[in-house]
Amino acid sequence: MNRKFVMGLVLSALSFPCLAGSVVVGADSPAAAMDAEAVKRVFLGREASVGGKPTVVVYQKGGAAKQAFEGKVLGRSGADLAGYWSKLIFTGKAKAPEELSSDAAVKAKVASTPGAIGYIDDASVDGTVKVLFKF
């Protein structure tokens, strides 16, 4: 194979991480599996409850899980997503989502907060959370 071609493939793989992630809630949540559209409604503030509890949406501040989730599921990212949420908050249509710094922080929050929903890398899933959707 051409050396430049191989290097191009390697750089492309590094630029676009192939992260497998999961949307999670606390292990004891009555919430059921969701499809991509239902997940999108929740994470864009259009759905007010998860598992019969008021929704507490938890985003990650940065990292590969955030990029993968926003790109694969929401189809929005960065300034576009921030602008979207600013408009909802300003008009009183939604409460700002929480932003936490890591998979561990998101997992701890959703495990201890009824109605909380977040996303983490599949490698971080354990018995404290229940997977509702994989991306």
40/4 Cα distance (integer angstroms) = 39
CATH architecture of 19-134: 3-Layer(aba) Sandwich (3.40)
pLDDT digit string, tens, across residues 102-132:
999 999 999 999 999 999 999 999 999 999 9
The whole-number average pLDDT for the span 21-28 is 97
- Flag whether pLDDT at 6 surpasses 90: no
Helices and strands, counts by H and E, the chain: 5, 7
Q: What torsion do the CA atoms of 78, 80, 82, 87 make, to the nearest 10 degrees?
A: 180
Query: pTM to 2 decimals?
Result: 0.85
C-alpha to C-alpha distance for 113 and 97, rounded to whole angstroms: 14
Average pLDDT, the chain: 88
